[in-house]
Structure 1
Amino acid sequence: MRSITARLSCSALAWGLIFALSACATKETSSRTTQETMDQTEKGAPPPLQGFSKTPSEEAVQAPSPTGTAKADQAEIAVRQAREALKQARGDVYFEFDRWVLTNEGKKNLAESAAALKQSPSVKVLIEGHCDERGTTEYNLVLGEKRAQETRRYLMSLGVTNPVGITSYGKERPVCTQPDESCYWKNRRAHLAVEERKAK
């Protein structure tokens, strides 16, 4: 019985000694690290960062590269500016009854529009051909398309390099609905519209 008690006491003493020594080793390592940190701080050097591969001075700071969002914002700004410039340049061209030949006033308006478009050559433009209410739907769709084509042809002859699409609405989208000549005149037009950019 005594031998068992002696063995247990020795085992307990051995384990206690092991724990005490391991605690001292940890404390010694911890105090060594703390002492090194204090020494470096006194010297003016920053303490080493633990858990990082590089110190802040080794890290390369790089400017953020342009993202798709930034490019989309620039495109949106260009669209807005082109739309505003076309409004100021009187972006509509008016035609005589049953004609698609440009008038002198129409050519003047297109020259102003061309100057505005040249400022934003990547902006897409859609030329809409419109007619007054007289005539059949089919006839007016063809006439509206001819007006849009003639408008595009003239813009290109002025050096516009923007992507330009055409469409015809015929008599389907009047800006005025009164059955008189002043209203018909407003509806016989080619309208220059800046196309919206699609989000990507």
Structure 2
Amino acid sequence: MEKKAKVGRKPKYDYESEEFLKSIYDLAFKGYNDKEIAQKIGLSAEKFYTKKGELSKLSNTLDDARTHAREKLNEVPSAALFSEICDKFSADRYRIAKYFGVSWNTVKVWMRENEEFQNVFDDANLKFISNINATGRILAQGIAEKDEKGNFKGWIERPDSNMNRFYLQTVGRNYGFGDNIDVTTNGNDIKGSISVEEWIKAKNK
């Protein structure tokens, strides 16, 4: 009786396929070493090293990815593009670095070596803070409802006591406000003080 030939075990991957090599390229470009790449794709490090030695396409893909990654680190964008991206992402460090495909440490090197980059980033940060401040001031003052003659009718949105307290305790410090508001009459001190919270409640009645 004729014996059937044993069927060989099907390889886990087609190691020279475009799809497989692209996945290897992406991992190497991101900075993973060979052992980490093997773990990512579910192979033993020994198996991956063996295939790398046997297949020039796999070896060349790894080399190309790492060369391109190093070149990417040395590519500094124009100040115009950097300004555009800083403004687009409101100076969010993570998203800026991700857009350029580098680490935040690399972006810091750009700014350290080019004062214009630092100024651009600072301006985008200041714009972001300014927008937050504008929103906070609206919340602090509330939105009043007025009649046709401009007379106060009521509140569409009442002033936020927490925002009032924040501005009195920060900006207000420059004008005599703080945790407590000192009360004077004609230059004569009145014993005691009124807490910010009590003053806000009285003001918003």
Verify same fold: TM over 0.5: no
Question: Taking structure 1 as the reference length, what is the TM-score of the superposition?
Answer: 0.28
CA radius of gyration, larger in: 1
Q: TM-score, normalised by structure 2?
A: 0.28
Indicate the structure with greater helix content.
2
